[in-house]
A = this chain, B = another copy of it.
Amino acid sequence: MAETELEAFVNSIQKLFPRIMRYLEDEATRELIGLEVTPSQMNALVVLYGPSNLPMGELAEQLGLTESAATRLVDRLLRMNLARRERDEVDRRVVRVRLSSYGRQLAELVFDRRQEQFARFAERMSADNRQHLITGLSALLAAFADLETQSKEKR
């Protein structure tokens, strides 16, 4: 039975992705060495970095957590002086979270490490392959987006 191009693709991708994800996850752990922060905590810092402050609900949403989990996470960020809670003055039900300057510094440090790490393997690829990778990943992301809009339409 001859393997179609599409089947071959699915097989290759199924071998490649787990290894790449594994490497990147290990790298994400490594980039936190020496900082007293767990990966989830760093995820939160990264989400909080851009906006000046964020309601709990949005934070949970962006982290893919329940609001309850987000609450405990922020509890710890607070205890570690990485963030502050603020009561929204307009709608007093909502609690907004803002990075402390220390939290901001930590996030920036990790951004720098990440940049270096990405540059390190980028240098080891040919310019052609870099272009292939960007093109392929963009197309993949587009396929994901396509799938998501389609599954939303069904509702």
Oligomer: number of copies: 2
Known: A121-B140, A146-B124. A133 touches B64 (CB 8 A): no
Kindly state whether residue A24 has any CB partner on chain B within 8 Å: yes
Q: Is the CB of A147 within 8 A of B121?
A: yes
Residue of B nearest to A146 (CB): B124
Q: Is the CB of B22 within 8 A of A134?
A: no
Kindly state whether residue A3 has any CB partner on chain B within 8 Å: no
Q: Is the CB of A129 within 8 A of B136?
A: yes
Known: A13-B118, A22-B64, A130-B9. A125 touches B138 (CB 8 A): no
| Interface size class, chain A | 35 or more
Kindly state whether residue A123 has any CB partner on chain B within 8 Å: yes
- Chain B residues near A147: list those with CB within 8 A: 120-121, 124
Q: Is the CB of A135 within 8 A of B132?
A: yes
Further contacts, 10 of them, CB under 8 A, given A14-B118, A20-B137: A10-B118, A10-B119, A19-B144, A121-B143, A121-B144, A129-B135, A129-B136, A132-B132, A133-B133, A136-B136
Can you name 12 A-B residue pairings with CB atoms under 8 Å?
A6-B130, A10-B115, A12-B134, A14-B114, A16-B134, A16-B138, A19-B144, A125-B142, A125-B143, A130-B136, A133-B139, A136-B137
